[in-house]
């Protein structure tokens, strides 16, 4: 046998195929039969099932994973809730406080604020386990005292008043959240009081330690003003150009600005023309009683006050309704002008815009607006408007007309962009007098320092009281000298002036050293060292020593100084014990 194929017959020798289609007259593949509806439904069902399974595969572990824990067993959700409550309290009750010294929220310098809130929750749980969490009447009393706390910087108002003002707003605080915040904070305080530790130290040391900060010295201070030492600096002095280059990045910057023509409707004038009937005033008062609330009951500050009677606030109601109608009338005027001003969009001739505004009974003003507050345009006496048209953007060319905009004082305005000025620096020629004054002040520094040192040596030989006597003499008049006396702790360090005008300060002087006969006076840096561009220096002398009493300090109020010195050690031990308790649970 062989694997070689047998020769095939010629095509012409093959027998014809029954029902065959001639070449080139049929499809290369037979036509497929269309799928039935049931088959199509089955296929699409399988596609959806597979897509859901594989699409959910990546997110399934995430959805089923447990919520992450902080500080041991505190959920992230709990920590976020406490953070939101604390930050709302901070915004509402401590709006003017220093951001780095908050009253209710965690300080900004915390590396992980959420962890800090979780740690507070964990400590509250430990305190609750020791029955230190206030509840019932104790918590009610804590809440009443908190709500009655005077609001700092707002005479006659309390925390309750501030919280009520934010009801229904983004900073509204639920009573349940507030009570939980107060209870947990009190629990942590109680835990500290119970667990704080102080080491035993010989009691005899307390008096000496406390007296250190009680010792005082009455310092006589005289500020020497160098106005009469300022040299004349000509505007073409070479140092003026040099100083300008140093200063222009800080003192002579010019922000970007736009020049606009303002067509505005005077809502104040329109409001004065409005007549308000008693019926309208009463209806408006009924819809806005929350704006005329009476005083809170001092016996029960949690009780919501009643609105003031209509007759008592009628004048305020009429004025408010007039202003509301005046602003609406101003809006109608600018809306009507806006329809007519469409044909002026992009018009290069500014006179046409002004003429059309006058025809529409609108007032005209011109303003140069500097780009200082993002998103806000300052129109001077007309108030501010939101920069919804983005006048400082690059998409508008001169001739652009804004839509009607309300101002912060109730007027309505339309702005036409006249000119655009890029940010930069004020030119030297425009600020030469200011730069020359700066140079003169720097040149007066060394003469001032030399004369202050000479005066120190001269008065030092005259003993106690010499500085005050000199300040009252005619010799001190050119210096514009004024005498002040104030107590200073003996351990206070006073800064000394630098040898150069903008140099580094010298070695500090301790107040206690001025009580030594060898150095009764000292030249000290003034605060501030410059009054504008005029340099200033202080001369100080000890007038009287007032040592603190050492009798009974261990038992008296000044023993707080001793306790403060030991508190740091107690906090370390306290933190160690609490950490051990937290980790042990």
**Which string of DSSP letters, residue by residue, matches 123-162?**
HHHHHHHTT-S--THHHHHHHHHHHTSBPTTSTT-BHHHH
Report helix, strand or coil for 522: strand
**Any idea how long the chain is?**
585
Q: Which residues contact 49 (CB under 8 A, 6 or more apart)?
A: none
Of the two residues 233 and 578, the one the predictor is more confident about is 233
Weakest-pLDDT range from 31-35, 332-336, 477-481, 497-501: 31-35
- Residue 114: the pLDDT is 83
Rounded CA-CA distance 6/137 in Å is: 111
pLDDT of residue 228: 93
> Confidence band (pLDDT; 50, 70, 90) for 53?
low
Per the structure block, which two tokens stand in for 48?
């959806």
Distance (Å, whole) CA 405 – CA 403: 6
d(CA 375, CA 225): 43
Distances (CA, A) of 79 to 74, 217, 363: 7, 50, 56
Euclidean distance between CA atoms 332 and 344, whole angstroms: 19
Contacts of 90 (CB under 8 A, 6+ apart): 97, 102, 103, 104, 105
Tracing tokens 């300090």 back to the chain, one arrives at 553
- Residue 168's pLDDT is 85
Q: How many angstroms separate the CA atoms of 529 and 535, rounded? A: 6
Largest CA distance in the chain: 146
In this prediction, residue 179 carries a pLDDT of: 94
Chain-centroid distance, C-alpha 137: 38
Residues 6+ apart with CB under 8 A from 55: none
CA nearest neighbour of 416 among 465, 459, 355, 472: 355
What confidence score (pLDDT) does residue 372 get? 78
Confidence of residue 442 (pLDDT cuts 50, 70, 90): very high
Kindly give, in sequence order, each residue whose CB lies less than 8 Å from that of residue 50, ignoring residues fewer than 6 positions away.
none
How high is the mean pLDDT of the chain?
81
């Amino acid at each position: 046998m062989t694997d070689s194929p047998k020769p095939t017959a010629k095509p012409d020798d093959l027998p014809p195929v029954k029902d065959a289609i001639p070449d080139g007259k049929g499809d290369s593949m037979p036509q497929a039969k269309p799928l039935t509806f049931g088959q199509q439904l089955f296929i699409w069902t399988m596609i959806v099932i597979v897509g859901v399974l594989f699409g959910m595969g990546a997110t399934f572990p995430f959805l089923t994973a447990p919520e992450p824990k902080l500080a041991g067993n505190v959920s992230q959700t709990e920590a976020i809730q406490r953070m939101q409550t604390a930050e709302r309290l901070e915004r509402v009750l401590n709006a003017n406080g220093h951001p780095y010294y908050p009253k209710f929220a965690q300080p900004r310098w915390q590396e992980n604020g959420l962890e800090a809130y979780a740690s507070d929750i964990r400590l509250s749980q430990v305190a609750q386990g020791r029955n230190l969490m206030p509840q019932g009447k104790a918590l009610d009393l804590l809440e009443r005292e908190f709500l009655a706390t005077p609001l700092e910087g707002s005479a006659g108002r309390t925390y309750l008043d501030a919280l009520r003002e934010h009801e229904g707003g983004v900073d509204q605080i639920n009573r349940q959240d507030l009570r939980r915040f107060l209870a947990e904070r009190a629990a942590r305080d109680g835990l500290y009081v119970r667990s704080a530790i102080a080491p035993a130290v010989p009691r005899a040391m307390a008096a000496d330690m406390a007296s250190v900060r009680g010792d005082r010295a009455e310092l006589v201070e005289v500020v020497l003003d160098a106005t009469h030492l300022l040299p004349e600096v000509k505007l073409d002095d070479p140092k003026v150009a040099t100083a300008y280059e140093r200063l222009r990045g800080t003192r002579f910057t010019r922000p970007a600005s736009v020049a606009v023509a303002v067509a505005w409707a005077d809502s104040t004038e329109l409001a004065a023309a409005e007549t308000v009937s008693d019926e309208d005033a009463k209806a408006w008062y009924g819809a806005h009683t929350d704006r005329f609330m009476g005083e809170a009951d001092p016996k029960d500050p949690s009780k919501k006050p009643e609105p003031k009677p209509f007759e008592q606030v009628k004048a305020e109601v009429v004025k408010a309704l007039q202003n509301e109608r005046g602003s609406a009338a101003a809006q109608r005027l600018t809306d009507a002008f806006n329809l007519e001003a469409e044909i002026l969009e992009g018009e290069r001739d500014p006179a046409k815009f002004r003429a059309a505004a006058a025809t529409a009974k609108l007032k005209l003003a011109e303003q140069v607006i500097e780009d200082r507050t993002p998103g806000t345009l300052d129109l001077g006496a007309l108030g501010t408007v939101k920069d919804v048209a983005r006048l400082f953007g690059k998409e508008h060319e001169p001739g652009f007309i804004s839509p009607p905009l309300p101002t912060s004082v109730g007027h309505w305005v339309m702005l036409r962009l006249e000119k655009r000025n890029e940010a930069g620096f004020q030119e030297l020629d425009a600020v030469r007098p200011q730069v020359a004054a700066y140079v003169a002040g720097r040149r007066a520094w060394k003469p001032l320092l030399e004369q202050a040192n000479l005066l120190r040596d001269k008065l030092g030989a005259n003993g106690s009281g010499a500085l005050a006597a000199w300040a009252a003499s005619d010799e001190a008049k050119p210096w514009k000298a004024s005498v002040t006396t104030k107590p200073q702790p003996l351990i206070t360090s006073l800064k000394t002036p630098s040898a150069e005008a903008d140099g580094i300060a010298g070695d500090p002087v301790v107040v206690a050293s001025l009580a030594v006969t060898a150095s009764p006076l000292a030249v000290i840096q003034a605060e501030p060292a410059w009054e504008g561009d005029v340099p200033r220096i202080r001369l100080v002398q000890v007038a009287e020593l007032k040592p603190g009493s050492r009798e009974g300090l261990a038992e008296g109020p000044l023993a707080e100084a001793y306790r403060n010195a030991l508190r740091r050690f107690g906090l370390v031990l306290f933190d160690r014990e609490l950490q051990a308790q937290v980790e042990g649970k």
